[in-house]
Amino acid sequence: MAKPGDAPAVVTPLELPQQWSQAPAIAAGRTRTAPGPTGLALWWRGFGDRELVAQVEQALQAGTSVRSARAAVEQARALRDVAQAGRWPEVGASASVQRGRSGDAAVGNSWRAGLDAAWDPDLAGRQRASISASEAELQAARYDLEQARVDLAAEVALSYIELRGLQARLAIARANLAAQEDTLQITDWRVQAGLASSLDLEQARAAAEQTRAQIPALRASLSKTAHALALLGGQVPAASQPLLETVRPVPLPPADLALSFPADTLRQRADLRVAEQRVLAALARVEQADAARWPSFQLAGSLGLAAARPADLFELSSLTRSLLAGLSASLFDGGAARAQVRAQQAALEQSRLGYETALLAALQQVEDGLAALAGDRERLLRLQAAAEAAANAELLARQRYASGLIDFRTVLDTQRTLLSAQSELETTRAALSADHVRLYLALGGGWTPDAASHP
């Protein structure tokens, strides 16, 4: 059984890269390698948002997916105990009383009490292989529990970031609506003064109503996201109301990125450890199927008391005992035993290929996460400049329109550009925080290997 920190118990022909190919793309940001286990295990605390921490920890305690995974661990532990019990002798007790007659003989009584024992010494190793398989399945269930916690923490963080991003976009829509209503008022005054046409007034009203129409859609999305957060935390939707009443900015990721080496990442990921344990369990089942082809040896014995009267049961003459040794083997089964071995070998190959597929997927997820992070970092810089320029242009356009220096179409264009730039900026800011969450998930964050090593 591989221990946390050991080399992988399953060897694949894949050659692991020494570095991530996308790492140079994020070199502009501060990175560090070999992150500490505590920092990676509790990555959500690095965002500096107490509400995010509270939401994640609530979900880890009460989330139904984690509770279901805990129940699966208990089931696997019970099945392991069942397999281990097969190593020991099976002892039974019996007692009986019989009354009867044979032919013309007088009616007689027979009193019996005794102990029976049977034991399979497992010379072929079938029980040992069964125990090994159940141990591997138990360990896989433990890692499945940790993976459930990892996935849940990431899902909560992503939903929380989405909620704060929606709040930011809602604030932008309201601010732009206020500016458009000011423009509408100015346009109305200019129409009354004969300085603008009714067309300008209707265009201003249409722009304001279009922006106003975005607000209920954003509020509905906010409610749905808050309800999803409550569900992840094992709560009813109404429990999310405090989240909607409190407005916070999108949580920002830590300034430095904890980036581990590829080989370290593969040992850190709980899902890969699950796949590894599945391979070990499949290997044990091959051994179990092979051992079933060989003869089995059994020892059995009994010790009891038999007498015609209850008072005589405790006489030495009433003592009965027996000892039996047996050997059983299948002489012909039509090739079923060999076919069972082949079936388990095929299952082993499937498990091994499943492990290899999971390994490749893990590498891809990290590379994809790094690529997304690099792209959104650059996009955020460009959008910050664009939003600043759009805000300046919109302010100048309103001032010049009020002075009669430009037409109303220019004002409309600058306001649309500002709303679009600010919305994209907040969307990208939320996407950048979400990129960090997905990258921490890909790096195996959210748990420590020691957490799944209990007996």
pLDDT digits (tens, 9 = 90+) for 412-445: 899 899 999 999 999 999 999 999 999 999 988 8
- The answer to whether position 271 is within a domain reads yes
Q: Whole-angstrom Cα distance, residue 203 to residue 221?
A: 28
Q: Across all residues in the chain, what is the average pLDDT?
A: 87
- The answer to whether position 4 is within a domain reads no
Residues 261 and 360 in one domain: yes
Q: Which residue has the higher pLDDT, 86 or 74?
A: 74
Pick from 280, 309, 328: which residue ends a domain?
328
Q: Which residue has the higher pLDDT, 6 or 280?
A: 280
Q: Which residue has the higher pLDDT, 30 or 430?
A: 430
List, for residues 239-271, the tens digit of each pLDDT value.
Answer: 988 888 899 999 998 877 767 778 877 888 999
Our count of domains for the chain comes to 2
Is 19 a residue whose pLDDT tops 60?
yes
Query: What local confidence, expressed as pLDDT, does residue 5 receive?
Result: 43
Q: What is the CATH number of the domain that holds 97?
A: 2.20.200.10
Residues 248 and 187 in one domain: yes
Query: What local confidence, expressed as pLDDT, does residue 170 receive?
Result: 95
Residues 77 and 140 in one domain: yes
- The answer to whether position 401 is within a domain reads yes
Residues 289 and 303 in one domain: no
Which residue range forms the structural domain that includes residue 96?
A: 89-121+295-328
Rounded mean pLDDT of 324-351?
91
Exposed / middle / buried, residue 131 (Cβ in 10 Å: 0-12, 13-18, 19+): buried
Query: What local confidence, expressed as pLDDT, does residue 420 receive?
Result: 92
- The answer to whether position 2 is within a domain reads no
Q: Which residue has the higher pLDDT, 76 or 193?
A: 76
Query: What local confidence, expressed as pLDDT, does residue 455 receive?
Result: 46
Is 407 a residue whose pLDDT tops 70?
yes
Rounded mean pLDDT of 283-310?
87
- The answer to whether position 376 is within a domain reads yes
- The answer to whether position 14 is within a domain reads no
Residues 156 and 181 in one domain: yes
Residues 100 and 187 in one domain: no
Query: What local confidence, expressed as pLDDT, does residue 258 receive?
Result: 66
422, 424, 429, 430: CA torsion to nearest 10:
120
Which DSSP string do the residues of 376-424 spell out, in sequence order?
Answer: HHHHHHHHHHHHHHHHHHHHHHHHHHHTTSS-HHHHHHHHHHHHHHHHH
Residues 101 and 188 in one domain: no
Q: What is the CATH number of the domain that holds 143?
A: 1.20.1600.10
What is the CB neighbour count within 10 angstroms for residue 123? 13
Is 139 a residue whose pLDDT tops 60?
yes
Instruction: Give the pairing of strands 296-307 and 90-100.
Output: unpaired
Rounded mean pLDDT of 278-304?
91
Residues 308 and 256 in one domain: no
Q: Whole-angstrom Cα distance, residue 79 to residue 216?
A: 53
- For 114, the enclosing helix (H) or strand (E) is strand 108-119
Q: How confident is the model at residue 80 (pLDDT cuts 50, 70, 90)?
A: very high
Residues 253 and 362 in one domain: yes
Residues 29 and 158 in one domain: yes
Q: Whole-angstrom Cα distance, residue 301 to residue 303?
A: 7
Is 2 a residue whose pLDDT tops 50?
no
Exposed / middle / buried, residue 34 (Cβ in 10 Å: 0-12, 13-18, 19+): exposed
Contact 53, 44 (CB under 8 A): yes
Residues 80 and 104 in one domain: no
